[in-house]
Amino acid sequence: MTPLLGRNASAAVTLTLSVLAMSFADAMVKLVSSDLTIWQVFAARSVFAAACLAALLYATKDAPLLRVSYWIVLRSALLIFTWLAFYASLPLLDLAIAATAVYTNPIWTTVLSALFLGERVTRTQWLGVALGFVGVAVILRPGADGFSMAIFLPLMAAFTYSLAMVLTRNKCRSENPVSLALNLHVAFLLTGVIGSVAFLLIDVGDALRSEYPFLFEHWRSMDLTDWALMGFLGVLSAGFFLGVARAYQTGAPQMMATVDYSYVVFAALWGLILFTEIPTVETWVGMALVVAAGLISSGVLIRSAQRVTPPKG
């Protein structure tokens, strides 16, 4: 085995395990969405993730623990909205459908890179963009009985994630990736605390709170099992980020972009195992089209950035 082939194989294994772990973590968030609020998940999970990342930065002394700038704050805000929209969709959608919708982000990034960074987009990549929207339309089936407006939540998440990635490449390229992750998790922690306090003080009404408890319910009591799960998710989040960063640093980007889409398959698997969600034929077809479109559109990502993580926390 040549050194290059060995590095690619090692990076592919690392990325596959990382994506598997995060798809499981997202399934766990969906599982606890009936017992905890999204603000609790943000705050509790990020306590552990931030601690892991801070310890790593302190041990390696690669960068200051926290470095605040306008662009870092804007990036964190975009990513917080990304996960807020994605997680808010989980109680309302099958995990496989939400995952497929959020993985339209390479399609959005292709368009945004052309508009804001002036990057050349080939006709093949525009074909990928069109194919992706066809795939989404197949999954959505507008006008069908099973259509849910909730699908626009992960689509918005994909769009804001793409904005954050364009910003990262253009304004945060020289930042230490672990430091960026720590800044993000500190922002998650603050958002979780602020959201919890806000919905404790603001009366949104019993009807809205009972219909969408994951968003509007008050902070719920957490036992040792809940805290242990949040700790596990926090460690997974920190480990996933580092695994993805390492994979994109050492492996061929084209191969990594392909492996990255295993998240959609894993999400469908966890949806089947944990929630007995069986995708329809139309959903499988739409998922295949979106994945194919993302792989075609990722040509812009491959040329422009060697180290970009997927939309997971």
CA dihedral 245, 247, 250, 253 (to 10 degrees): -100
Which residue range is the domain that position 179 belongs to?
3-304
According to the model, what pLDDT value does residue 286 have?
Answer: 82
Q: Take residue 299 and report the two structure tokens written for it.
A: 């040509």
Q: What is the distance between the alpha carbons of residues 270 and 124, in angstroms, rounded to a whole number?
A: 33
Residue 309 lies in a domain: no
Q: Is 311 within the bounds of a domain?
A: no
Number of domains in the chain: 1
CB 301 within 8 Å of CB 257: yes
Q: What is the pLDDT of residues 151-188, one digit of tens each?
A: 889 999 989 988 887 787 777 777 777 888 888 899 99
pLDDT given at position 311: 46
pLDDT at position 251: 67
Residue 313 lies in a domain: no
Domain assignment of residue 25, yes or no: yes
pLDDT at residue 233 in the model: 94
Q: Is 153 within the bounds of a domain?
A: yes
Q: Does residue 118 lie in a domain region?
A: yes
CA–CA separation, 11 vs 14, rounded Å? 5
Sites in the chain below the pLDDT cut of 50: 300-313
Residue found under tokens 């969405």: 33
pLDDT of residue 50: 92
Per-residue H/E/C for the chain: CCHHHHHHHHHHHHHHHHHHHHHHHHHHHHHHCCCCCHHHHHHHHHHHHHHHHHHHHHHHCCCCCCCCCHHHHHHHHHHHHHHHHHHHHCCCCCHHHHHHHHCCHHHHHHHHHHHHCCCCCCHHHHHHHHHHHHHHHHHHCCCCCCCCHHHHHHHHHHHHHHHHHHHHHHHCCCCCHHHHHHHHHHHHHHHHHHHHHHHHHCCCCHHHHHHCHHHHCCCCCCCHHHHHHHHHHHHHHHHHHHHHHHHHHHCCHHHHHHHHCHHHHHHHHHHHHHHCCCCCHHHHHHHHHHHHHHHHHCHHHHHHCCCCCCCCC
Domain assignment present for residue 312? The answer is: no
pLDDT value of position 308: 42
113 domain-assigned:
yes
